[in-house]
Structure 1
Amino acid sequence: MSSRRAVAITGSLVTAALSVAVILPSSATADDQGPGSGKGGKAVDAAPAGVKLTTSLPEKISVDNGSKKTAITATVKNEGTKKSGEVNLLVVGFDGLKITRVPGCSEIAAKDLPTGSNSGYTCSVGSLAAGGSKSYAVAATYDLGRAGKMCLPVVSADGKKTFWQQGPVPFGTANPSPNAPATPLLLGTDNKPVAPGGDTLPKTGVGDDVLPLGAAGTALLAAGAAGLYWTRRRPGRLQV
């Protein structure tokens, strides 16, 4: 091998190595919300044979103490062995957590929101292949003076069945940081709001007392509009 050719090959390898060095760190740190978790999730109606639908939320989020804004990644996945068929994902906020935007999804009218919720969007997921998933970038605000919860139901295209529902599950912290630029919150953690006199709100952890809030759902999708009607149910019973 001539010295000129050796230099050319060496130069190519160095360029490739530098390219990898630039690409890998950015992809590794693209998601700083930690691993996704299905905490607070449960199956409601039976899914078609071979289909297993689940959702996940980040283990941690961060709320800007000035703007009160936060970003949350919501993911729906088919862990089964067959295509899911057409399904929709609902993204709903409760109490101090308000959903402000989900790109590619339609806002739920205030009159059609689930009981107790303050905001929501419905997303047409389509049919997920076996092992397939789809993630949505959720923009929200969080009033750190209150508790805040989020709910992710996965419903059939006609809205008659709820195959899976995560939450309403809280994001919160027991160590507020009012003087810091941002406050980190953990999934499934009761929030301890900062308030004059050290007042705190009742616990809002995941439990049987909060599950009936959204155990059944009906999505109404027509003419580009989206609506949702949820009914309360007793534990162990589903009303549709």
Structure 2
Amino acid sequence: MSSRRMAAITGSLLTASFSAVMILPCTAVADDQGPASSKGGKAVDEAPAGVELSTTLPSRITVDNSSQKTAITATVKNDGSKDSGGIRLLVVGFDGLKVINVQGCSAIAEKDLPEGSNSGFSCPVGSLAAGRSKSYAVDATYDLSKAGKICLPVQTTDGKKTFWQQGPVPFGTTNPSPNAPATPLLLGTDNKPVGPAGDQLPKTGADRDVTPLGAAGAALIAAGCAGLWWARRRQEG
């Protein structure tokens, strides 16, 4: 075989190897969030006849151990037979889980955040047709030395009624991986932080009982909380 032909074959092999290296890592780090789950959710105020609203979160997320970044898909859906009318979705973070951005949504001012939360976004869903859903890409960080929780209330656009609320529900792991590139967290699992007292969950508030979040008037105003969680102010009459 001539040296010229050998060089050509060697070059082709190197090119193929380089292509494989460029492609494979992308596949390896893809975050499989598993099936969507409505765990930790319940109906609150009665929805209009024919409207059945709920939300879902991924059953699993992955936190980058160096940057603490993670991605979450929050979905609101209408499984009823009629359009929902105007609604909004809130995405609110607690403790170690901080919501950095939600695509297409507006940040809730710090003074208007519910007590105990560290971040939140309001998403104007509009009227959701029967049988339809709408998903939002949530960018967040997760401090693995703490517990971390997220809450998804679905409200009327003026915040006077909360038709559904998922959470505050935790993401966490009982098997932290401090030396791994990333740590997988499961929905509905309390986080067990890494450290000397890793067998003891930090005391960050009361229990996880869910009470609904609402707002007085059209503006998004923080409602109080019972301990860490939510208490809803409702306009009478």
Does the alignment reach a TM-score above 0.5?
yes
1:115 Cα deviation from its structure 2 partner:
1.1
1:126-178 deviations in Å (ceiling 9; x for gaps)? 11111100000000000000000000000001110000000000000000000
Deviates more, 1:190-199 or 1:78-87: 190-199
Residue 185 of structure 2 aligns to which amino acid in structure 1?
L
**What is aligned with 1:40?**
40
**What is aligned with 2:207?**
209
Find out whether 1:231 has 2:224 as its counterpart: yes
CA–CA distance in 1 between the matches of 2:52 and 2:120?
A: 24
**What is aligned with 2:167?**
167
Change (3 A) 1:219 1:122: farther
CA–CA distance in 1 between the matches of 2:99 and 2:213?
A: 20
1:101-136 deviations in Å (ceiling 9; x for gaps)? 011100000110011100000000011111100000
Residue 43 of structure 1 aligns to which amino acid in structure 2?
A
1:32 Cα deviation from its structure 2 partner:
1.7
**What is aligned with 1:66?**
66
1:203 Cα deviation from its structure 2 partner:
8.0
**What is aligned with 1:146?**
146
Find out whether 1:132 has 2:125 as its counterpart: no
Change (3 A) 1:48 1:164: same
**What is aligned with 1:106?**
106
**What is aligned with 1:218?**
215
CA–CA distance in 2 between the matches of 1:31 and 1:146?
A: 22
Contact 2:33 2:58 in 1 (8 A): yes
1:230 Cα deviation from its structure 2 partner:
1.9
CA–CA distance in 2 between the matches of 1:152 and 1:219?
A: 18
Change (3 A) 1:228 1:35: farther
Residue 210 of structure 1 aligns to which amino acid in structure 2?
R
Contact 1:216 1:233 in 2 (8 A): no
Specify the SS of the correspondent of 1:111: helix
Structure 2's unaligned 5+ residue stretches are 1-29
**What is aligned with 1:155?**
155
TM-score, structure 1 normalization: 0.78
Specify the SS of the correspondent of 2:183: strand
1:232 Cα deviation from its structure 2 partner:
3.5
1:64 Cα deviation from its structure 2 partner:
0.1
**What is aligned with 2:122?**
122
CA–CA distance in 1 between the matches of 2:100 and 2:216?
A: 19
Alignment length, in residue pairs? 203
1:69-114 deviations in Å (ceiling 9; x for gaps)? 0000000000110000010000000000000001110000011001
Residue 229 of structure 1 aligns to which amino acid in structure 2?
A
Contact 2:94 2:118 in 1 (8 A): yes
Specify the SS of the correspondent of 1:33: coil
Residue 154 of structure 1 aligns to which amino acid in structure 2?
V
Pairwise CA RMSD: 2.5
1:196 Cα deviation from its structure 2 partner:
2.8
Structure 1's unaligned 5+ residue stretches are 1-29
Change (3 A) 1:238 1:112: closer
Residue 162 of structure 2 aligns to which amino acid in structure 1?
T
1:221 Cα deviation from its structure 2 partner:
6.0
1:238 Cα deviation from its structure 2 partner:
5.7
